[in-house]
Chains A and B, each alone.
Chain A
């Protein structure tokens, strides 16, 4: 039985993606990422000298500021900031610039479902634009579970409200490699099968959760390819003189 989505997409189909980098003048790196109608703007300042009081001075420190579209900053925003900070800390190489602070500022332009994954993708693109050293990119996706057990990817706001549970999943991107297939392993499994962050809302069974992870992982290939193509195009546009 097929699920009927309001906008006619198949369960595994993502909304149209758009990404542009280096759009703001002052920050050292900036990016805007939109999935359908959800749009998020990210700006990166740094690295700047000095770390905060309780942070380890032998590593680079990250600070995330989340600005909602309207309203005051509350607990929801603080939770998003914490999730984003932990995700960024695990994808960046922290030993290259010790004792520095990098600030990432996220501004929500429009929220139409799947907001946190959109913000993570935007933050990643902005970090690449600023040249912050990273081990690999983070690719984020929202998978939700419908009442009849089907997994639906990248819901919009209405679909999210109707679902019984959803999960935000962040994976490392698929990378090009000159190594022969299957040699980048960590503890017996290829590094690409790892998962960086997972945030769930609602009640779902363990099997359903693993089904979500599988489907989400399958979609990371297209997100990674989109990111790579977007980057190649902007390189081509700006390096005609080179």
Chain B
């Protein structure tokens, strides 16, 4: 028989939680505003976990459950890679690997007016920003940042796109730079775009560079920092022989 937890733990922060674990007791915390991120839901006075993952907390008041999946749950201000599936007169329908298709208004570009509407074919890869996500409605996207400038958003030409889990995308986007990217960047020159929805785009002058970078990124999910550097060194050695 498993060991019973006889006394309730005082805090589950930074521990693995499973759906159903009650992580916060609101009756002890009156007069505080708490922000609940993904993976937590409120059941009267108790906050419990909806997903399995690690419970995280940053001051002053943000709690969330961190987990890595193949599907993406859209959140505002996320930069994602979407694929156009249809275009209508008012907006483009874009697939961002979420539960629903997202809408990209035709005028949501820098300097966009009714006269210079961009024409995207079905299958175009776009680097977009999520603007609004309301339950029950399709998420809305935009190709400008909050102040209206292009800031790198828009269609991505050439290159190679592959899909990974959301956890790997978060790791590759973390700062300081991820060790695998540092090690690759020292020897090779390439361009990448990471979407928080688990899509990665790589572009370089030669196809073999693209293949090396893509394989290195796909293999680096479960490796620690030093292991990533060793893997990249071995890959580059093999190639230069």
Q: Which residues of B contact A175 (CB under 8 A)?
A: 18, 20-22, 48
Q: In the complex, A175→B52 CA distance in Å?
A: 12
Which one of A225, A228, A240 lies within 8 Å of B224 (CB-CB)? A240
- CB contact under 8 A between A46 and B171, given known A178-B25, A222-B2: no
Contact with B along A52-85 (1 / 0, CB 8 A): 0000001000000000000000000000000000
B32 within 8 A of A: no
CB distance from B50 to the nearest CB of A (A): 4
CB distance B171 to A130 under 8 Å? no
- CB contact under 8 A between A176 and B69, given known A49-B101, A98-B136, A241-B225: no
- Closest residue of chain A to B70, judged by CB? A28
Tell me which residues from 160 to 196 in chain A have a Cβ below 8 Å from any Cβ of chain B: 172-173, 175-181, 184
Q: List 19 A-B contacts (CB under 8 A).
A: A29-B69, A49-B101, A128-B19, A128-B52, A134-B51, A135-B19, A135-B20, A173-B20, A175-B20, A176-B22, A177-B21, A178-B9, A179-B25, A222-B1, A228-B16, A238-B167, A240-B223, A241-B171, A241-B227
Q: In the complex, A162→B24 CA distance in Å?
A: 48
Which one of B8, B46, B52, B225 lies within 8 Å of A176 (CB-CB)? B8
A211 within 8 A of B: no
Q: In the complex, A231→B162 CA distance in Å?
A: 27
Contact with A along B152-171 (1 / 0, CB 8 A): 00000000000000010001
CB distance B22 to A179 under 8 Å? yes
Tell me which residues from 102 to 152 in chain A have a Cβ below 8 Å from any Cβ of chain B: 128-131, 133-137
A157 within 8 A of B: no
Contact with A along B176-209 (1 / 0, CB 8 A): 0000000000000000000000000000000000
